[in-house]
Amino acid sequence: MIERDRPPQAPVDIAVIGAGVVGCAVARRFTLDGARVCVLEKAVDILDGASKGNSGILHTGFDAPVGSLEQRCIADGYAEYMEIRDRLGLPLLETGALVVAWTEAEEARLPALLDQARANGVADARLLDKAAIKAREPHLADGARAAILVPREYVIDPWAAPTAYMMQALTNGAHLMRGAGVTAGAFDGDLWRIETDAGPVLARAVINCAGLFGDRIDAMLLGDSHFTIRPRKGQFVVFDKAATALVSGIVLPTPSATTKGVVVCRTAYGNVLVGPTAEEQESRTDAATDRETLRMLIDKAATIVPALADQPVTAAYAGLRPASEEKDYRVRVEADRRYITLGGIRSTGLSAALGLARHAADLHATFAASTVPLSEPHWPRAPRLAEHAPRDWAEADNGGILCHCELVTRREVAAALTGPLAARGLGGLKRRTRVTMGRCQGFYCSAALADVTAGRLDPPMALPDRADD
Amino acid sequence: MTEASLKDGAVEDVAVAIVGGGPAGLAAATRLAEQGIRDLVLLEREEEAGGIPRHCGHYPFGLREMQRLLRGPDYARRLAARARAAGVDIRTRTSVVRLGPGPHPTLDLTTPEGATRLRAERVLLATGVRETSRAARLIGGGRMRGVVSTGALQSMIYLKGLVPFRRPVVLGTELVSFSSLMTCRHAGARPVAMVEPGTRITARSFARALPALMGIPVHLETTVEAIHGTDRVEGVTLAGPDGARREIDCDGVIVSGAFTPEASLARLGGFAIDAGGGGPVIDQYGRMSDPAYYAAGNLLRPVETAGWSWREGLTVADALAADLRGGPPPPPTIRLSVTGDALRFVTPSRLSLDGPAPAFDAVQLRAARAARGLLTARAGSRILWTGRLDTLPERRILAPIAPLLAAGPGAEITFALEEGRETS
Ligand SMILES: Cc1cc2nc3c(=O)[nH]c(=O)nc-3n(C[C@H](O)[C@H](O)[C@H](O)COP(=O)(O)OP(=O)(O)OC[C@H]3O[C@@H](n4cnc5c(N)ncnc54)[C@H](O)[C@@H]3O)c2cc1C
Ligand SMILES: Cc1cc2nc3c(=O)[nH]c(=O)nc-3n(C[C@H](O)[C@H](O)[C@H](O)COP(=O)(O)OP(=O)(O)OC[C@H]3O[C@@H](n4cnc5c(N)ncnc54)[C@H](O)[C@@H]3O)c2cc1C
């Protein structure tokens, strides 16, 4: 049975629909600005949509369209991440990125890309010659002709960051309802009454952060939508941790007009990934992988870093981009109805979320009275999941290791199962602790994990009735 | 080791550290202790020593080691009890997280009390094998509950009394796939099908009768293309011999067999790994590319029985003890490899000349598929050894080491299978 949270007693200032990375950042922003916020999330856990499977890159926006809203939000989001990350305990793997030209045609496009980076304020991007490329990425395939180095493209933890944003919202008074899919709503000129699977919520304003369902929410609540979500799947293959000896940072292809292309990069969890693909599809929920594509990605990885061909595969996953008919974000403001849509946050939402949240606050200020920012907000610490930073297993009283491959302690699992943001699904527990994400994919720890999570997860890892012995 | 020394960050010194307390590690520890090497620790990350047999609730274990017929858990307990009786310091809930380089390697450990370090003269790795995950086999579909390995299934059922599903499909026909049928039966689950990509059932004949007895259809030359379901498994797509696809309803998938050595520590430590078998590269003493390290048991290769792994623990322990007492054997100078698509690996794949008694008197090979013909070991054009072969992927293949040594220092010996050929 899906666990549903109760609605708040009194009307709130802001109802945030959707707890993806954008909704989490928006909830944090408005809470810190002094508003009463309620987040409505359909799934049993936060980060269950587009935000559950991405590349984990904190983009500078060097290749974003010049002058776009996307570029501005990425720049602002980037800056705020750097400002708050220490206080929230968020990791940063200072890798830098290489945009590599493998063909003459690609090489010819680099100068224009460099100009674009500079126009986007990424002044430290620069061209590297073959020797400099080899020095940075010694295991890269021969045949790299030239590259642009973007020194401040970094790797971050795609789950700890939004989890920390939501934690900060919650510890400062926000209300989160999980299992609360929005089904209808109406504005009476003063208040929105939003119907959810978990009961009605009254709010002075609505911010639609529903990601892959953003257009549907607009249609449901406003009667129409200015955009249509065109889900675009991205599949990934994750190599085991020893592969980090082969890749020191982020290796991007020279982008074409249609796609950013397949990247090989390190992850915050100490692996190397290759992906994503860009596959248009109808389904907004089906993030299935397929064998041919995964094989193709491994082959692709081996053309970029040949030694990856011999590395064991740890995991495969896919994410769905909430793309729309247009490249830029689809932001809509209905001042009369006190409603904002942050839609179509396609492929840069992890980087842009904090910037988008500020943008939403600015837009909200155009139609609503301002609130008094919290003078001394709490700063909760994110779960420490990054491989390169100290982790719980090195500390006393950790309870012992539960997940051996990822070195997750029993204390970490217990912590992730309690508190205002307690995990309610195995996916949520993974995103808060890394359990079962490693090379054995649950061979060693499933039994212990099924035991400690009994009665806590939806769906459960084991059936309610026990083995008949 | 005192509490104080831990807090000071002091490093504990021992003669021998054994990593992994399965049959191989326990056998090695017991043997070393019996030979008077007291300064010895066995590091085991689980709550109990015993390794994989702890959750194999079936027979037959213990014939070679104890001349008795035991179930896995009883066998595991007895092996651990023997080691303790011999005076072995077994440290459970102690995970080795990093292996430092020789000549006096430092191991990074973690325990419930936090991180510690240990320095040893010699280290023996015995971390075993596991099954290859669904992800590593590139089986597509969504990520829902109900996809488990046999090992996970056995631990859930035999160690925790938990059942993940009622009507699973079993992928694989290795021995372990048939144990998964037994495990299901024990828990009241009824597998709906067994699926095998190859043309024949991999396991030996006695297990083959099981599906028929249990009324479970076996689909040969069939792969699991994708697993479906939203939150839980609801079905699988099978691709049959003619490429035809079909859907089967089920509520779980047992992704069984396709063993792979748990060699991640060795891999991360930068030691030489055999690309074919996936275990560390060793010589006939069980010595790895860093001569302070030895390896034994199923870490060496996929896959052997508990009894075999146990015996390797003994013989590698003897080699290690001789090294500690009388100095290391000469460095290996002969390299072995396999060629052609019929053979997967050979281990040991290094041989040293003119040393003391070895831990292994034969090399082991495995076939990549069903194959028959003449197996030959050549150094250049010189044939060192031949043997007839009629094999399936999981079967043990042995070739004696003595004739290979005749190749002399610097030799590169290649094993090849000449299919269809019966005699030399
Ligand atoms: C393959 C891939 C790679 C990417 N790589 C990067 C990268 O490296 N760097 C980067 O910055 N970005 C990257 N992105 C982009 C980033 O992941 C997305 O932009 C971001 O996740 C979008 O977040 P969101 O909050 O808008 O949407 P979502 O995460 O989809 O959140 C929307 C939420 O709304 C909920 N919801 C839906 N309908 C309802 C309803 N009716 N009622 C209540 N709740 C509802 C959903 O359950 C969901 O939780 C990548 C994306 C993909 C797919
Ligand atoms: C699912 C499954 C079923 C099997 N069924 C049978 C069967 O029915 N009959 C049979 O004969 N064989 C079976 N086998 C083969 C099995 O590998 C052997 O029986 C035997 O367990 C091998 O012994 P070992 O000591 O090499 O490894 P294992 O028994 O695997 O022991 C390795 C030990 O090392 C420990 N370890 C690993 N890494 C670390 C670390 N970093 N730090 C500390 N400790 C660590 C592990 O916790 C484990 O206890 C099965 C194997 C599997 C995977």
Q: A-contacting residues of B 204-263, CB under 8 Å?
A: 225-226, 230-232, 260, 262
| pLDDT exceeds 70 at position B7 | no
Between CA B388 and CA B395, with CA B391 as vertex, the angle to 5 degrees is 120
Q: What tens digit of pLDDT does each residue of B157-209 get?
A: 999 999 999 999 999 999 999 999 999 999 999 999 999 998 889 887 677 88
Q: In Å, how far is A55's CA from the nearest CA of chain B?
A: 18
Residues in chain B, overall count: 424
How many structural domains is chain A composed of?
Answer: 3
User: For position B4, what pLDDT does the model report?
Assistant: 36
Q: What tens digit of pLDDT does each residue of B96-137 get?
A: 999 999 999 999 999 999 999 999 999 999 999 999 999 999
**Which atom of ligand 2 lies closest to the CA of B46?**
47
Of B140, B267, B270, the CB nearest to A289: B140
Q: B22: which chain A residues are within 8 Å (Cβ-Cβ)? A: none
Residue type, A251: V
Is there a domain that residue A258 lies in? yes
Closest alpha carbon to B19 in B41, B35, B37: B41
Q: Are residue A236 and residue A304 in the same domain, yes or no?
A: yes
Tokens standing for A461?
């890892």
Q: What tens digit of pLDDT does each residue of B357-416 get?
A: 999 999 999 999 889 999 999 999 999 999 999 998 888 999 999 999 999 999 999 999
Q: Are residue A43 and residue A192 in the same domain, yes or no?
A: yes
Q: Is B274 on the interface with A (CB under 8 A)?
A: no
The CA-based diameter of chain B, rounded to the nearest angstrom, is: 68
Nearest CA in chain B to A313: B136
Helix (H, G, I), strand (E, B) or coil at A18: coil
Q: What tens digit of pLDDT does each residue of B18-74 get?
A: 999 999 999 999 999 999 998 999 999 999 999 999 999 999 999 999 999 999 999
Closest alpha carbon to A260 in A120, A51, A465, A59: A59
- Number of the ligand closest to the Cα of A431: 1
Please state, in angstroms and rounded to a whole number, the distance separating the CA atoms of residues A90 and A80: 12
For chain B, give the mean pLDDT. 94
- Integer CA distances (angstroms), A54 to A213, A273, B230, in order: 18, 10, 20
Task: Please check whether residue A160 is in contact with residue A272, taking contact to mean a CB–CB distance below 8 angstroms.
Answer: no
Tokens standing for B199?
């043309």
| pLDDT exceeds 50 at position B336 | yes
DSSP letter for B61, please: B
Please state, in angstroms and rounded to a whole number, the distance separating the CA atoms of residues A392 and A408: 8
Check B164 against A399: CB less than 8 A apart. Answer: no
Is there a domain that residue A86 lies in? no
**Which atom of ligand 1 lies closest to the CA of A210?**
34
Q: Is B406 on the interface with A (CB under 8 A)?
A: no
Tokens standing for B102?
């020789």
Backbone angles phi, psi at A397, to 5 degrees: 60, 35
User: For position B6, what pLDDT does the model report?
Assistant: 43
User: For position B424, what pLDDT does the model report?
Assistant: 63
User: B42 C-alpha to center of ligand 1: Å?
Assistant: 47
Q: B155: which chain A residues are within 8 Å (Cβ-Cβ)? A: 444, 446-448
Tokens standing for A402?
């539960």
Mutational test site, ligand 1, from A350, A356, A359, max ligand atoms within 8 Å of CB: A350
Domain that holds residue A397: 392-452
Q: Which residues contact B301 (CB under 8 A, 6 or more apart)?
A: B261, B274, B277, B278, B279, B345, B347, B364, B366
Task: Please check whether residue B350 is in contact with residue B368, taking contact to mean a CB–CB distance below 8 angstroms.
Answer: no
Closest alpha carbon to A200 in A468, A432, A437, A4: A4
Closest alpha carbon to A271 in A302, A299, A300, A245: A245
Q: B133: which chain A residues are within 8 Å (Cβ-Cβ)? A: 314-315, 439-443
B336 - beta bridge partners?
A: B413
Q: B130: which chain A residues are within 8 Å (Cβ-Cβ)? A: 440, 443-444
Q: Average pLDDT of B219-228?
A: 93
To the nearest 10 degrees (0 to 180), the angle between helices B23-34 and B306-326 is: 40
Relative to beta strand B40-43, strand B89-91 is parallel
B249 - beta bridge partners?
A: B235
Q: Are residue A246 and residue A345 in the same domain, yes or no?
A: no
Is there a domain that residue A87 lies in? no
- Ligand 2 within 6 A of CB of B262: yes
Residues of chain A with pLDDT under 70: 1-2, 258, 466-469
Q: Is B6 on the interface with A (CB under 8 A)?
A: no
Q: Provide the pLDDT confidence category of residue B2 given band limits of 50, 70 and 90.
A: very low
Which CATH number characterizes residue A225's domain? 3.50.50.60
A10 - beta bridge partners?
A: none
Q: Are residue A258 and residue A206 in the same domain, yes or no?
A: no
Is there a domain that residue A197 lies in? yes
Residue type, B176: V
Helix H or strand E encompassing A135:
helix A130-136
Please state, in angstroms and rounded to a whole number, the distance separating the CA atoms of residues A204 and A361: 14
Please state, in angstroms and rounded to a whole number, the distance separating the CA atoms of residues A151 and A123: 10
Q: Are residue A224 and residue A330 in the same domain, yes or no?
A: yes
Tokens standing for A229?
């979500």
User: B130 C-alpha to center of ligand 2: Å?
Assistant: 7
User: For position A364, what pLDDT does the model report?
Assistant: 98
| pLDDT exceeds 60 at position B8 | no
Please state, in angstroms and rounded to a whole number, the distance separating the CA atoms of residues A467 and B57: 13
Q: In Å, how far is A392's CA from the nearest CA of chain B?
A: 8
Task: Please check whether residue A54 is in contact with residue A142, taking contact to mean a CB–CB distance below 8 angstroms.
Answer: no
Tokens standing for A249?
């940072």
3-state DSSP of A218-244: HHHHHCCCCCCCCCEEEEEEEECHHHH
Check A442 against B188: CB less than 8 A apart. Answer: no
Q: Are residue A248 and residue A347 in the same domain, yes or no?
A: no
Q: Which residues of A89-120 are buried (b: 16+ CB within 10 A; e: fewer)?
A: bbbbbebbbbbbbbeeebbebbeebbebbeeb
User: B229 C-alpha to center of ligand 1: Å?
Assistant: 21
Please state, in angstroms and rounded to a whole number, the distance separating the CA atoms of residues B181 and B172: 11
Q: In Å, how far is A324's CA from the nearest CA of chain B?
A: 23
Helix (H, G, I), strand (E, B) or coil at A39: strand
Is there a domain that residue A405 lies in? yes
Q: Are residue A314 and residue A282 in the same domain, yes or no?
A: yes
To the nearest 10 degrees (0 to 180), the angle between helices A21-32 and A160-171 is: 30
Please state, in angstroms and rounded to a whole number, the distance separating the CA atoms of residues B160 and B163: 9
User: For position B3, what pLDDT does the model report?
Assistant: 38
Q: Is B55 on the interface with A (CB under 8 A)?
A: yes
Backbone angles phi, psi at A448, to 5 degrees: -65, -40
Q: Are residue A138 and residue A244 in the same domain, yes or no?
A: yes
Put residue A12 in one of left, alpha, beta given phi > 0 → left and psi -120 to 50 → alpha: beta
Is there a domain that residue A82 lies in? no
Please state, in angstroms and rounded to a whole number, the distance separating the CA atoms of residues A56 and A387: 14
Residues with Cβ within 6 A of ligand 1? A 17-23, 40-43, 48-51, 53-57, 59, 181-182, 209-213, 217, 234, 276, 319-322, 345-351
User: For position B9, what pLDDT does the model report?
Assistant: 65
Please state, in angstroms and rounded to a whole number, the distance separating the CA atoms of residues B338 and B320: 27
Sheet holding B252-255, edge to edge: B147-148, B252-255, B168-171, B193-195, B218-219
Sheet holding B140-141, edge to edge: B140-141, B223-228, B235-239, B245-249
**Cβ neighbours around B51 below 10 Å, total:** 30
Please state, in angstroms and rounded to a whole number, the distance separating the CA atoms of residues A318 and A414: 28
Q: Are residue A251 and residue A311 in the same domain, yes or no?
A: yes
Residue type, A46: I
Q: Are residue A192 and residue A272 in the same domain, yes or no?
A: no
- Integer CA distances (angstroms), A60 to A49, A123, A124, A329, B61, in order: 23, 11, 11, 16, 59
CA atoms within 13 A on the CB side of B238: 24
Q: Are residue A177 and residue A243 in the same domain, yes or no?
A: no
- Domains with residue ranges and CATH for chain B: 3-130+260-328 (3.50.50.60), 133-257 (3.50.50.60), 330-424 (no CATH)
Q: In Å, how far is A271's CA from the nearest CA of chain B?
A: 12
Task: Please check whether residue A87 is in contact with residue A378, taking contact to mean a CB–CB distance below 8 angstroms.
Answer: no
Q: Are residue A271 and residue A401 in the same domain, yes or no?
A: no
Backbone angles phi, psi at A119, to 5 degrees: -65, -30
Assign 3-state DSSP to chain A and report helix, strand, coil percentages, each to 5. 30, 20, 50
Is there a domain that residue A398 lies in? yes
Is there a domain that residue A425 lies in? yes
Which CATH number characterizes residue A236's domain? 3.30.9.10
Mutational test site, ligand 2, from B30, B52, B90, max ligand atoms within 8 Å of CB: B52
User: A331 C-alpha to center of ligand 1: Å?
Assistant: 15
